[in-house]
Structure 1
Amino acid sequence: MKKYLFRRILQIIPVLFIITFAVFFLIHVAGDPVAMMLPSDATDSDRLILRTALGLDRPFIEQYGIFLSNLARGNLGRSFRYREEALGIVFERLPATLELASFSMLLAVFIAIPFGIWSAKARNSSMDLLITGVSVLGRAMPSFWLGIMLILFFAVKNPLFPVSGRGGMEHIILPGFTLAFGIAAQITPLVRSSLLEILQQDYIRTARSKGLAEKVVVYKHAFRNALIPVVSIMAVQIPGLIGGALITETVFSWPGLGQLVIQAIYGLDMAIVQASVLVIALVTIFFSLLADVLYCIIDPRIQHR
């Protein structure tokens, strides 16, 4: 297991290299940040001076080489807009995004697992069809549209929850459910299909033949093994969860990385975009490693080599 984790950690380096290069290239070809920073009546001389001061007059490869050199020292540059270290600004916003993402994932699990088990136990019934239909609807429904509908019904017409901002539990309910609904729609049918497959195994038939109650068979013997593919899909959902959080944060004015990244993209603030993508990539890789560890905890027969 230790050798496997060590190899996975080594694999992070080329992955981050590819990510940084892709983001740096896309920002480079997106436009000239100097045009965004100076007023429309600025002279060509003013633009040249600022471009030289920011190092944007150098060739692309040289700019990227300087970026990698600074990255090795933990310096991701200064924000054009905030005039501060980009990494510090990202870390200020990161807790809000992690709070929203964590709440959404927990809520999705608490929704998906009971309904997935219920759907499996009531196979081919009207309730099974209803749960399956809602899951299909949840996968097809855009999160930003769901967020707008929740704001309309639960904040405008019926002022039960705040429409924006970050504060107490009441502020996170609507954005959290917006993210959780789509994730739960992905996990629920997986729980159902995985549990149905496990319930056909010989050891489950043996447990039933011993006269054990159906609840004991399902929750004690079948459920744990059915969790393995669920953990897999949860790890896969982390990038989508972070990406969905960026959009949802914009809809609900949640002060996390979402608003910061969107504003940085519009303003061509390269340092903020690069720092945000790098941090999000590291968070995603961390949860992927955590999923591998959870595999071994759930099923000790799994051995990573």
Structure 2
Amino acid sequence: MSSFSPLHHRGGEVVRNYLIKSVLQIIPVLLLISLIVFILVRVTGDPVALMLPETASDEDRMVLTRALGLDQPIYVQYIKFMGDLLQGDFGTSYRYNLPALPIILERLPASFELAIASMIIATLISVPLGILSAVKRNSYLDIFITGASALGKAIPHFWLGIMLILLFAVRMKIAPVSGRGTFEHLILPALTLGVGIAAETTRLIRSSMLDILGQDYIRTARSKGLIETLVVCKHAFRNSLIPVVTIMALQSSALIGGALISETIFAWPGMGLLIVQAVNGRDMAIVQASIFVVAFIVILGNLIADILYRLLDPRIKYK
């Protein structure tokens, strides 16, 4: 027991130091993002002109300019901008006349609901197809699955969404076109978002399975007389999931990009639809808050993927 404790303590300390180091590396990334957002807000238009009606007088413009601190030197504006960010203040939405961050956080549950549903659909499609494609390598089934995966990856989200609406909502009338509230509302947008992820994940599972099936321990298991189903499901598939799980955790950026399209097509009241509306309406408070929230989600997804990879594969060392 005494010989184990120091090693256990040392291992926990290494993991803790790695996590601290990873979190600290996020800080310069967020600082860079803050600088980019600050510049974008200034070059995309005059905030005062966006906030005031066209009939506003020059005096009104001057008063609002001073109130927003836009008459200060640029470095002073950036310092104030950073101070507001640290307090979670991204400004007030021109459209809603409310603080931007709470509006976005209110939309996040709908986006997470769509993301989780699409990942479930992608998993249900990709796992059996990826295994079949690897086990039946170079067969007609493998060629069909590989071709379908390439097609699914190439199909634009907006085209797939429109086709699903025409088929299931207009022609068959078995799913609603837009909105949120019931399980049926979730099917089409989740399917639109999940197909592209399923196509990519199927390819990854096939590649990983083929690599594992060529390993010595798989040949040993077969030589012992184990049935092929047991060899594939118990030994090969479990080990092939190591890179697949981490890749799926890295899909946060793809999910966000797809959500912008899916939520817009199906009027799904999530963050993606909010971002599109804010960009079209030049609601810069919502836009800049959205950029930070999206960046945080992507960074968090990358960190989780890195941690999962190291947990699933003990050969990877923490540094």
Structure 2 residues without counterparts, runs of 5 or longer: 1-14
State the alpha-carbon separation in 2 of the partners of residues 197 and 233 from structure 1.
16
Partner in structure 2 of residue 183 of structure 1:
197
Partner of 2:64: helix, strand, or coil?
helix
Of 215, 218, 230, 1:216 maps to 230
In structure 2, what residue type is equivalent to 1:294? L
Matching of residue 287 in structure 1 with residue 313 in structure 2: no
Structure 1 residues without counterparts, runs of 5 or longer: none
In structure 2, what residue type is equivalent to 1:6? I
State the alpha-carbon separation in 1 of the partners of residues 280 and 73 from structure 2.
23
**Conserved 8 A contact 1:33-1:269:** no
**Conserved 8 A contact 1:80-1:269:** yes
**Conserved 8 A contact 2:122-2:197:** yes
Matching of residue 263 in structure 1 with residue 287 in structure 2: no
**Conserved 8 A contact 2:250-2:305:** no
State the alpha-carbon separation in 2 of the partners of residues 14 and 285 from structure 1.
12
In structure 1, what residue type is equivalent to 2:296? L
Partner in structure 1 of residue 243 of structure 2:
229
Of 25, 29, 32, 2:43 maps to 29
Larger CA deviation: 60-69 vs 209-218: 60-69
Matching of residue 78 in structure 1 with residue 92 in structure 2: yes
State the alpha-carbon separation in 2 of the partners of residues 267 and 37 from structure 1.
11
1:92 to 1:20, Cα distance in 2 relative to 1, 3 A:
same
Partner in structure 1 of residue 59 of structure 2:
45
- The number of aligned residues is 305
Matching of residue 205 in structure 1 with residue 229 in structure 2: no
**Conserved 8 A contact 1:135-1:186:** yes
State the alpha-carbon separation in 1 of the partners of residues 303 and 176 from structure 2.
36
State which structure, 1 or 2, has the greater radius of gyration over its C-alpha atoms: 2
Partner in structure 1 of residue 20 of structure 2:
6
Partner of 2:91: helix, strand, or coil?
coil
Partner of 1:50: helix, strand, or coil?
helix
Shift of 1:75: 2.3
Report the RMSD for the aligned CA atoms in angstroms: 1.7
Task: Output the TM-score relative to the length of structure 1.
Answer: 0.94
Partner in structure 1 of residue 174 of structure 2:
160
Partner of 1:51: helix, strand, or coil?
helix
**Conserved 8 A contact 1:143-1:179:** yes
State the alpha-carbon separation in 1 of the partners of residues 272 and 96 from structure 2.
16
State the alpha-carbon separation in 1 of the partners of residues 224 and 163 from structure 2.
51
Shift of 1:302: 2.6
Task: Output the TM-score relative to the length of structure 2.
Answer: 0.90
The equivalences for 1:71-150 within 5 A come to 71-150=85-164
1:197 to 1:68, Cα distance in 2 relative to 1, 3 A:
same
**Conserved 8 A contact 2:246-2:308:** no
State the alpha-carbon separation in 2 of the partners of residues 269 and 63 from structure 1.
19
Shift of 1:289: 2.1
Partner in structure 1 of residue 260 of structure 2:
246
CA shift digits 1:13-41 (9 cap, x unpaired): 11111112212212221112333333334
Shift of 1:93: 0.6
The sequence identity of aligned pairs, in percent, is 59
1:251 to 1:56, Cα distance in 2 relative to 1, 3 A:
farther
